[in-house]
């Protein structure tokens, strides 16, 4: 199908962007980084077109649903969200060094998507609801923000370690200041947390529509709550305790690992209402 070929092209583009950003960081060549930015923009256009084409193709098949309902579709949507969020961050902070740590996440997400079933399949009647749109979209926008925050948190830890050793130059020397990195870790979570909250609320509404209960302590629901609590703790510690620097960066990374467990670990390993079961 055309949409799959477009997503395959997106994978190649995100891989090329990752290589350019990393090469620019090590080679200290801004031209390569600028090329990486343009590749990301092209990837955003191609992947957006792919989502639209897949949606249209589902209607032609008589299914007619938003393309975010199985593992393949959720992965490509996740990568799409990361790419767009990254481009906004790059534009706002006027730094392309983030790309070496963020874009590989989007690329490997697409690579993983490539290993899964890509056919368009009908949604079971119980799950056919407009709550699906709100739930999935808000969750993945939040996940994308957390991915950026975690990537930048890794940069912060590397930069802080170099500054403590009073070493200058090298690849890490081209990173933004630790203050700027710490600020972006925080702001990314500030952006993602409300979307995650809305995603959980709309998910509860969707669960009530589909199964007659708002909350059943399904493994996915439990891990969603764990993720929410980790990021709520981050924001509480930041606002009331003034947590900055290393502690905040580590908590951001822990939060993203919990997010990956919530998104993939639960769905692929544990049994529950949200299990993909190899679909």
pLDDT tens for each residue of 123-146: 777 667 778 888 889 999 999 999
DSSP state of 210: H
Q: How far apart are CA 227 and CA 222, in angstroms?
A: 9
Radius of gyration of the chain (CA): 19
% of the chain exceeding 90 in pLDDT: 57
CB burial of residue 197 (10 Å; 0-12, 13-18, 19+) = middle
Domain boundaries, the chain: 1-69+95-119, 124-279
At residue 22, the 3 state secondary structure works out as helix
Backbone angles phi, psi at 225, to 5 degrees: -65, -40
**pLDDT, mean over the chain:** 88
Residues 61-88 as b/e (b if ≥16 CB within 10 A, e otherwise) read eeeebbbbbbbbbbbbbbbbbbbbbbbe
Crossing angle of helices 2-27/30-60, nearest 10°?
170
pLDDT in tens, 218-266: 888 889 999 999 999 999 999 888 888 899 999 999 999 999 998 887 7
pLDDT in tens, 199-215: 999 988 888 887 788 88
The angle at the Cα of 274, spanning 268 to 279, to the nearest 5 degrees, equals 55
pLDDT in tens, 82-101: 999 999 999 988 889 999 99
Tell me the pTM: 0.89
Residues written for the chain: 279
The token duo for 28 is 């200290």
| pLDDT reported for residue 279 | 36
CB burial of residue 126 (10 Å; 0-12, 13-18, 19+) = exposed
Q: How far apart are CA 196 and CA 147, in angstroms?
A: 13
DSSP state of 174: G
């Amino acid at each position: 199908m055309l949409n799959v070929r477009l997503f395959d092209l997106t994978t190649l583009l995100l891989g090329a962007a990752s290589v350019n950003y990393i090469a620019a960081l090590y080679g200290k060549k801004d031209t390569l980084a600028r090329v990486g930015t343009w590749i990301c923009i092209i990837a955003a256009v191609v992947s957006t077109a792919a989502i639209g084409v897949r949606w249209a193709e589902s209607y032609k098949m008589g299914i007619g649903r938003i393309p975010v309902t199985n593992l393949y579709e959720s992965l490509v949507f996740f990568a799409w969200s990361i790419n767009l969020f990254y481009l906004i961050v790059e534009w706002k902070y006027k730094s392309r060094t983030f790309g070496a740590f963020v874009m590989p996440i989007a690329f490997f997400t697409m690579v993983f998507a490539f290993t899964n079933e890509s056919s368009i399949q009908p949604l079971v009647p119980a799950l056919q609801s407009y709550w699906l749109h709100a739930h999935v979209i808000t969750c993945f926008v939040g996940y994308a923000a957390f991915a950026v925050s975690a990537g930048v948190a890794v940069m912060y830890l590397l930069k802080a370690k170099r500054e403590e050793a009073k070493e200058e130059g090298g690849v890490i020397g081209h990173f933004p200041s630790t203050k700027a990195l710490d600020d972006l870790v925080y702001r990314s979570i500030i952006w993602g947390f409300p979307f995650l909250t809305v995603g959980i609320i709309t998910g509860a509404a969707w669960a009530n529509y589909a199964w007659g209960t708002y909350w059943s302590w399904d493994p996915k629901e439990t891990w969603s709550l764990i993720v929410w609590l980790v990021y709520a703790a981050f924001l509480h510690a930041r606002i009331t305790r003034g947590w900055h620097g290393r502690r905040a960066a580590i908590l951001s990374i822990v939060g993203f690992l919990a997010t990956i467990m919530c998104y993939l670990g639960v769905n692929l390993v544990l049994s529950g209402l949200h299990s993909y079961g190899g679909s």
